[in-house]
Amino acid sequence: MSAEDDPLICAVCGQHHQRVHLKPGEKAECLRCDTVLARGRWMGPEAPLVFAVTGIILAVPACLLPFITAGKLGDKRVSLLFTGVGALWDNGMRTLSMLVLFMGGIVPIGLLVTLVLLLAPPPSRRCVLDPRELARVAAWLERWAIPEVQVLAILVALLKLGSLVDVELGPGFWCYCAMTLSLIFALCGVEKQRLPDGQAILTPEHPK
């Protein structure tokens, strides 16, 4: 039986549906409970995996290369991605520093790795975790990954400090922005399904 003949089963109510070809931007909903079952891809089926791998590659220079260079009267200071975390910790804002480290660095990178494991073709997947468990982990990490908020916070700070000090955005910042976009595009290629127990999972898009 071909992929088109294989019925598409709703994860919420169990309703069977016949697979149809979806145009880019279209979505298929369950006839019984209106759960989104599939979406028409704007790009190829391998695009989410490519974006996830690209995000992991970009995370390395984002962490190692200069993030921001600030100076005044010839005195310059170069900051890396997590330099601000240490500054917050030293100034007594330890809870905030851990949140910045967790939500702006560890979780986004962990989400990218999880998406690669989830989206990788089954023959090349070498992981002891079940794909369904990977989907649950990815959904949990997605709720806590907010690298775009960190980018916006940095841009707002630059607007306020631009008149006081000379600020230059380094290559690490642009790599971090590209990593954030790669993560967003990778997430656009997976579906969000709500399970009967109220938990959400992320699954690769169904073949059309």
SS3 175: helix
Give 8: exposed, middle or buried? Use CB within 10 Å, 0-12, 13-18, 19+: middle
Is the CB of residue 11 less than 8 Å from the CB of residue 193? yes
For residue 70, the enclosing domain spans: 44-190
pLDDT at position 83: 82
- As for how many domains the chain has, the answer is 1
pLDDT at position 28: 78
Tens-place pLDDT, residues 108-163: 999 999 988 888 876 555 555 677 788 888 888 888 888 888 888 778 877 777 66
SS3 112: helix
Tens-place pLDDT, residues 171-200: 999 999 999 999 988 887 776 544 333 344
Q: Quick check: is 34 in a domain? A: no
Q: Quick check: is 127 in a domain? A: yes
Which stretches within the chain are classed as H helix? 47-64, 83-90, 94-101, 107-119, 131-144, 147-161, 171-188
Could you tell me the CATH number of the domain that includes residue 53? 1.20.140
pTM for this model (two decimals): 0.69
Tens-place pLDDT, residues 3-58: 445 667 777 787 787 777 777 667 778 888 877 777 666 666 688 889 999 999 99
